């Protein structure tokens, strides 16, 4: 059972790494990355069966998606990837992952602000989500 959890974590880390790479390079996440996340979510349902608790893990991503619609400052793909991460992730620590990712992005933004004093800079979110996922995985 531990081996299966390890593979799930490695696959989700690879998925987030791929999305992060695009987010850093193009400040956008292609539809193919989002589609792969959807395929992984369907595979989880087929492989493990449906669990109602996975729907609760979608909520932070849905909230981020709604914020992106309301503010136009947050990318829609960020909310979708966060929702998929919550759904796919075995651990139900999506709120912890979200909190850590927001802390990391806040610290990075403060460093950038102190160095450049540029408020209009766009910061990709997925690398911080990846770092937060790895942090939660390694510490938990």
Amino acid 16: pLDDT: 93
Q: CA-to-CA distance for 50 and 31, rounded, in angstroms?
A: 25
H-helix or E-strand containing 40? helix 31-48
Instruction: Please compute Rg for the chain using Cα positions.
Output: 15
From the number of C-beta atoms within 10 Å of its C-beta (0-12, 13-18, 19+), residue 68 rates as middle
For residue 101, the enclosing domain spans 1-139
Structural domain count of the chain: 1
**In whole angstroms, what is the distance from residue 43 CA to residue 49 CA?**
9
Q: What SS3 state is found at 92?
A: coil
How do the pLDDT tens digits run along the chain, 140 residues long?
567 678 888 888 999 999 999 999 988 888 888 898 888 888 877 887 777 878 888 889 999 999 999 988 888 999 999 999 988 886 568 999 999 999 999 999 898 888 877 667 788 999 999 999 999 989 87
Cα–Cα nearest to 84, from 22, 23, 126, 24:
126
Q: Distance (Å, rounded) from C-alpha 102 to C-alpha 125?
A: 9
């Amino acid at each position: 059972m531990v081996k299966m959890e390890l593979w799930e974590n490695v696959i989700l880390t690879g998925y987030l790494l791929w999305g992060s790479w695009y987010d850093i390079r193009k400040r956008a996440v292609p539809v193919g990355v989002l589609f792969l996340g959807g395929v992984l979510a369907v595979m989880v349902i087929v492989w493990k069966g449906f669990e109602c608790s996975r729907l609760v893990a979608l909520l932070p991503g849905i909230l981020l998606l709604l914020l992106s619609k309301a503010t136009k400052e947050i990318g829609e793909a960020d909310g979708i990837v966060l929702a998929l991460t919550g759904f796919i992730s075995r651990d139900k620590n999506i709120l912890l992952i979200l909190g850590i990712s927001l802390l990391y992005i806040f610290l990075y933004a403060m460093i950038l602000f102190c160095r450049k004093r540029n408020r209009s800079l766009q910061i990709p979110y997925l690398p911080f989500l990846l770092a937060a996922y790895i942090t939660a995985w390694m510490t938990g």
